[in-house]
Amino acid sequence: MIDSTPRLPLAGPERQLRADAVRNRALLLDAAARLAEERGAAAITMETVAAAAGVGKGTVSRRFGDRNGLLQALLDRSERRFQESFLSGPAPLGPGADPIARLRAFGPALLRHEHANLDLYLAAEPVPGRRFSVPARQLRHRHVVVLLRAALPGADAELLAHTLLSSLDVVLVDHLVHGHGMPLARVEAGWSDLVDRLLG
């Protein structure tokens, strides 16, 4: 089977940075990762990362813009691995399976991926006006759209993709699992049931 999933840059366009800027970026991300591991994502601020890296706050702002940009960059490595798994990894999540099987595999894989990085994902949740412009979220939506178009020709795949993905929203899932004691396996089963009911 030929995979028709659109190939987007995994983490947005790569800018050509000077060698010292590249070093600074890596230094800042290492410092942020240490803070997250030692004190949790709540400890990551522009000031604490700058102090931990031994640079000025302006350096952090120039590299990442704001705290959300810093957190998104920190998530980039694990996000790239997840993206590779559904864009080019083994079936049924990756190419080689029919679109329905891939949709069924996608939900649980996304849930487990975000659960493994939950503290960072919750901290990096953008304000409402920016949440749908995050490149990773856009790529996930486009992937589901492509699978839905293959499985349900003629359906409004863009709207259905938003509807399906809303059931996997990291804030909602955290509320269900930690606020209501719902097992993650039940949320995964709910995704499969939703896909099966939608696709018959």
Q: Are residues 123 and 54 in the same domain?
A: no
Is 158 part of any domain? yes
From first to last of its 200 residues, what are the pLDDT tens digits of the chain? Answer: 434 444 444 444 444 557 777 888 889 999 999 999 999 998 899 999 999 999 888 989 989 999 989 999 999 988 999 999 999 999 999 999 999 999 999 999 999 999 999 999 999 988 888 888 889 999 999 999 999 999 999 999 999 999 999 999 999 999 999 999 999 999 999 999 999 999 97
Supply the DSSP string of 39-91, one letter for each residue.
Answer: H-GGG--HHHHHHHHTS-HHHHHHHHSSHHHHHHHHHHHHHHHHHHHHHTSST
Q: Are residues 55 and 90 in the same domain?
A: no
Q: Which residues span the domain enclosing 100?
A: 68-199
Q: Are residues 51 and 75 in the same domain?
A: no
Is 179 part of any domain? yes
Q: Are residues 90 and 129 in the same domain?
A: yes
CATH number at residue 46: 1.10.10
Q: Is the pTM of this model over 0.85?
A: no
Q: Are residues 171 and 99 in the same domain?
A: yes
